[in-house]
Structure 1
Amino acid sequence: MVIFLTSSPTGPLDGSRKVDGLDKKNHFVDELKKYWKNNSRCCMIAASPDAYKQNDDMCDFFRETFLKEHFSIQCFDLIDRRYSDFTKDELQKYDVILLGGGHVPTQNQFFKDIQLREKIKDFDGIIIGISAGSMNSADIVYCQPEEDGEAINPEFQRWISGLNLTKTNIIPHYQMVKDRYLDGMRLYEDITYKDSIDHPFIVLVDGSYLLIDKHETIYGESYLIVDEHIQLICHEDETKRIDEIEL
């Protein structure tokens, strides 16, 4: 199993840098092609399982994006509520699994509904996490409040079980949301920093990613937040192994 946990594989969501197709920053495409097989069987698992039109469009977009970059594809299937009774053996027949982006708790519940943690654990291929998909790849997932009311709702669960593909907690889109306010509070300084006590977070800008093979290696600009403190741990066009970081 080789895992790419991305913030956004198709460029910044805020449009701050124009990207045509897959984002080649930090050698993402080059690294992915090292592992990609000819005629790969691909599937995308949606974050919003009941948003059928959105899921169809997303699947079509990523299929065309990968083909544009000359990745060899035999099929590119979609898993949402319409096709959720697949077996572990059926999932294992794919070469590439994409975990889509969206609302973390919604996707997490769908992953539980389809028993993905158990079905994916022996997967022998490429997994690509996109935003929420990267966050839900952790053993224990940190749900950074995102929607109005979540930061002040005492019943909102910020820690839930995930896919157990890594122990590392990823937070994406830092350049886009670092100054955001939610429920009258600063998203990072007043919410996430406090949640970082005894819980380290690896925070990625769009264009950076975590590659998990023999080691966990960060590619590109990223930050460590732990015990209410943030520090830059990797620059653009640099790499840093997680086991070299004092967490």
Structure 2
Amino acid sequence: MAASPDAYDRNDEMCDFFRKAFLKDGFSIQCFDLIDQRYSNFTKDDLQKYDVIVLGGGHVPTQNRFFKNIHLREKIKDFDGIIIGISAGSMNSADLVYCQPEEDGEAIDSNFQRWIEGLGLTKTNILPHYQMVKDRYLDGMRLYEDITYQDSINHPFITLVDGSYILLDHEETIYGESYLIVDGKIQMICHDNETIKVSDIY
């Protein structure tokens, strides 16, 4: 599932990248289809034919609009295969998605929606790439200290460094270095090579 439905060249490139990555790790692939604007009128039954769905990365609000346009929340609801969320795809998997401002102007735009409906696969809000963006400034403000910490009042976020992930299999388990941000504070909750259940955090 693409994040930018009209970016055909980039979508083809990323699809080819992931196909090669799966093959390199020894997975057998019968088909590896890309869903963007060119193939967006699939049915719920069409989706059930796949074993794995990959929700790609990109701009969270753009991907969210595409998912709404193709009614993915309803179509993916009873999917019984494996769903892999990458970056924006993991963020849009939440029932209520937190759109962390990302592009210039978003942090100061009063019309920018930071909370939008997602796919409803989890109630956990994930913030990826922590080691890459933790010191970033956006619109003259610190992305985390001045923006995200303020948005964490009564809204916990699980922040992951690249290589860490959350596995949902009856219960949610965090693997690798991760942090909890809630009520304007941050604390490490899991080290590299460790695991912790989300239910043990909050």
Q: TM-score band (shorter)? A: over 0.9
- Percent identity, please: 80
Taking structure 1 as the reference length, what is the TM-score of the superposition?
0.81
Shift of 1:121: 0.5
Q: Residue 108 of structure 2 aligns to a residue in which SS?
A: coil
Q: Residue 32 of structure 2 aligns to a residue in which SS?
A: strand
* 1:96-132 deviations in Å (ceiling 9; x for gaps): 0000000000000000000000000100100000000
Q: Residue 74 of structure 1 aligns to a residue in which SS?
A: coil
Partner of 1:222: 178
Q: Pick one of 29, 44, 50 that aligns with 1:94.
A: 50
* 1:20-50 deviations in Å (ceiling 9; x for gaps): xxxxxxxxxxxxxxxxxxxxxxxxx000000
Letter in 2 for 1:244: D
Partner of 2:139: 183
User: Given the alignment of the two structures, is residue 47 of structure 1 paired with residue 3 of structure 2, yes or no?
Assistant: yes
Partner of 1:165: 121
Partner of 1:61: 17
Q: Pick one of 72, 78, 82 that aligns with 1:116.
A: 72
Shift of 1:72: 1.5
Q: Pick one of 81, 86, 103 that aligns with 2:37.
A: 81
Q: State the distance in 2 between where 1:188 and 1:242 align.
A: 22
Which one scores higher on RCO, CA 8 angstroms, separation ≥ 6? 1
Letter in 1 for 2:45: D
Shift of 1:216: 0.1
Letter in 2 for 1:73: I
Letter in 2 for 1:188: Y
Partner of 1:154: 110
Letter in 2 for 1:96: V
Q: Residue 79 of structure 1 aligns to a residue in which SS?
A: coil
Shift of 1:138: 0.1
Taking structure 2 as the reference length, what is the TM-score of the superposition?
1.00
Specify every segment of 5 or more residues in structure 2 that has no aligned partner in the other structure, as ranges: none
Q: State the distance in 2 between where 1:93 and 1:75 align.
A: 11
Letter in 2 for 1:116: L
Q: State the distance in 1 between where 2:17 and 2:86 align.
A: 14
Shift of 1:73: 1.1
Partner of 2:159: 203
User: Given the alignment of the two structures, is residue 192 of structure 1 paired with residue 148 of structure 2, yes or no?
Assistant: yes
User: Given the alignment of the two structures, is residue 231 of structure 1 paired with residue 187 of structure 2, yes or no?
Assistant: yes
Q: State the distance in 2 between where 1:86 and 1:125 align.
A: 17
User: Given the alignment of the two structures, is residue 143 of structure 1 paired with residue 99 of structure 2, yes or no?
Assistant: yes
